[in-house]
Amino acid sequence: MDNRQPRRGLATARSVLHVLAHLEAHPEGVKADEVAHVAGKSASTAYYLLASLVEEGFATHDGGLYRPRRVPQEHPAADARHQLEDAVDDLFLRTHKRCYLGVVRRGGIEITVVRGRQGIARMPGLGTRITDNAHALAMGKVVLARLRPDAVARYAARGMPAYTPGTITTLAGLRAELDRVREHGYAVDREEFDEDFCCVAAPVTGERGELRGIVGLSATTRAFDAEHDQLAAAVVGVAAEASALEAVA
């Protein structure tokens, strides 16, 4: 009987626990190369272990630093969060694309849930928080579209970095884009944050129309072009169903 595969799995599990323990011991954040040194792994293996912890919700990645995700002991909206997680699961099952849930916290959008599977391309550079890159991402546009004009102007005045040739970098361009988001009820970014990735996102609202979360997905440009209408319909449909549930929660 070949026991090599179970042993490899156990070794990987031990490595993940070792990395997680190191993150817990350094809540201020650590870099991937430090994790590689501490775990005695290659840089690529360290990145893989850290990415797995982020994807499963045990860690966050922001500004090049990895930190343990802090889960409050008591969360007044625990049921709502669980309900929105179900929406992300539903979106993944409908589209088979990498899917996300974002919530507005501490002046940014925190990506709290990611659903996908091995083999589905990851969007390069997308961490666990969306802040000054909101203009280049569909989830960010959903939130910006709900702001007052003066708040949008303040966001633009801080600078709108160009991530690709397709990134919107002017206030006039951003305002026109946000008008389209409000008109269509969902947002799209087409190679605006990464040149081979596109995203679709839509808001989940509560009984009074308040924003409860944002659901979205990312896809390669090739997949996006081939399935644009279906992907947009799936995102809008899941967001609408989740909003209906939130309204009666």
User: What pLDDT, in 10s, does the model give residues 155-172?
Assistant: 999 999 999 999 999 999
Q: Which domains does the chain have, with CATH numbers?
A: 4-68 (1.10.10.10), 78-248 (3.30.450.40)
- Only one residue has tokens 């916290």, namely 105
Pairing of strands 187-190, 65-68: unpaired
Q: Which residue has the higher pLDDT, 70 or 244?
A: 244
pLDDT for position 116:
87
Q: Which residue has the higher pLDDT, 198 or 2?
A: 198
Q: Calculate the average pLDDT of the chain.
A: 86
Percent of the chain with pLDDT over 90: 55
The 3-state DSSP class for residue 156 equals: helix
3-state secondary structure 192-240: CCCCCEEEEEEEEECCCCCEEEEEEEEEEHHHHHHHHHHHHHHHHHHHH
Q: Residue 54: pLDDT band by 50, 70, 90 thresholds?
A: confident
Q: Is 179 exposed, middle or buried (0-12, 13-18, 19+ CB in 10 A)?
A: exposed
Task: Provide CB contacts within 8 A for 46, sequence distance 6+.
Answer: 19, 32, 33, 35, 36, 39
3-state helix, strand and coil shares in percent for the chain, rounded to the nearest 5: 50, 20, 30
pTM above 0.75, yes or no: no
CA 186 to chain centre: 16
Q: Residue 235: pLDDT band by 50, 70, 90 thresholds?
A: very high
Q: Residue 10: pLDDT band by 50, 70, 90 thresholds?
A: low
Q: Which is it for the CA torsion 54, 140, 100, 80, positive or negative? A: positive
Q: Residue 35: pLDDT band by 50, 70, 90 thresholds?
A: confident
What is the helix (H) or strand (E) element at residue 105, kind and residue range? strand 98-105
